[in-house]
Structure 1
Amino acid sequence: MASNTQHSSTSATDGQVLEFALGEETYCVSIDYVTEIVDVGEVTTVPNSPPHIRGVMDLRGRTTSIVDPKVVFGIDGDGDERRIIVFDPAIVDDQGAAGWIVDEVFQVVQVDREDVDDSPSQDKVAVRGVVKRDDDFVIWVDPKAVHSA
């Protein structure tokens, strides 16, 4: 197997990621940011909120902002929107708890450095890279960058 010369020659692992669906595509985030995954429940709309904020939910007694990553990343298409990935409140600084509404959550997988290519996206902060999977690709996004923008 040919090695990618853009990366160091070590075969260090980048860590574990949680894979999920947004529309027709598969995305992932570092599992280090995720605190839990819950089913979509009652989301309360907040007037005058930015377009990417779907609303708020009560998750275990904590008011949690629900973000629509399809709006953040400019993804067209509808989906099932069946799960919410809840992130560690530390990633959103003083904004409180946040979660992303996604179509489906698949699995947690180990990602090796040699399987990650640089992002072709102009938004190289929010998109960490593209993970090669057999005959498909998974877009690795950084929720910390999304929430600090």
Structure 2
Amino acid sequence: MSNPQTDETNQYLTFSLDKEIFALDITQVREVLEVASVTRIPRTPPFMRGVINLRGHAVPVVDMRCKFGMPSMDDTVDTCIVITEVDLGGESAVLGALVDSVREVFEMMPESIEPAPRMGTSIRTDFIRGMGKQNDQFVIILDINRIFSSEELAVLATAEDLDSQTEATAEAI
């Protein structure tokens, strides 16, 4: 007896940075937030915007424009923080990704995703899971687990711990 084959589709959350469209696998996205008050943490990399308070937990926020070497831009009404789950040495860590705007969730068949090109994008190709198309526009599908090195994720985790310690100290005073 043979099993009928089912076409597997993947859902992606699309967002924009500058004039480019990017996507993240929806299974790694927890939620999308309006830009909130971000607390800057001293001695962190330039791409680290700071931390936000998300239901009592400090969540590091990364400016994706800065991380990808794009020119900085002031926040607008469309600027959002995409809360994602990132693999941090076998453990799941929560991270906020600051983006210009969130577009939509769409489905794409795995066979319609092409490998990352060697040239033509402003970001390193090892960050890219593949390239897709949506309404005649190319979509750069990111691998969120490869965007940050283990050292950078350790800095983000340390920043989260520092902020938690600062909050605890402030409450004790």
Could you tell me the TM-score, scaled by structure 1's length? 0.81
Q: Indicate how the Cα distance of structure 1 residues 128 and 28 shifts in structure 2: closer, same or farther if over 3 A, else same.
A: same
Q: Counterpart amino acid of 1:141?
A: L
User: 1:105 maps to which residue?
Assistant: 102
Deviation at 1:101, TM superposition (A): 0.5
Query: Can you list the C-alpha shifts for 1:91-118, whole angstroms capped at 9, x where unaligned?
Result: 2456842110111111111111232121
Query: What is the alpha-carbon distance in structure 1 between the residues aligned to residue 70 and residue 9 of structure 2?
Result: 26
User: 1:86 maps to which residue?
Assistant: 83
Q: Decide whether the 8 Å contact of 1:12 with 1:113 is kept in 2.
A: no
Query: What is the alpha-carbon distance in structure 2 between the residues aligned to residue 74 and residue 14 of structure 1?
Result: 31
TM alignment of 1:25-44, pairs within 5 A? 25-44=20-39
User: 1:47 maps to which residue?
Assistant: 42
Query: Can you list the C-alpha shifts for 1:60-104, whole angstroms capped at 9, x where unaligned?
Result: 11100000111222223526362100012x524568421101111
Deviation at 1:136, TM superposition (A): 1.1
Q: Decide whether the 8 Å contact of 1:57 with 1:63 is kept in 2.
A: yes
The answer to whether 1:116 aligns with 2:113 is yes
Q: Indicate how the Cα distance of structure 1 residues 34 and 95 shifts in structure 2: closer, same or farther if over 3 A, else same.
A: closer
The answer to whether 1:141 aligns with 2:142 is yes
Per mean C-alpha deviation after superposition, the further-off stretch among 42-51 and 72-81 is 72-81
Q: Kindly report the root-mean-square deviation, in angstroms, between the aligned alpha carbons of the 2 structures.
A: 2.4
Q: Secondary structure at the match of 2:126?
A: coil
Q: Secondary structure at the match of 1:74?
A: coil
Q: How many residues align?
A: 139
Bigger Rg, structure 1 or 2: 2
Q: Decide whether the 8 Å contact of 2:87 with 2:93 is kept in 1.
A: no
Mind listing any 5+ residue stretches in structure 1 that lack a counterpart? Answer: 1-9
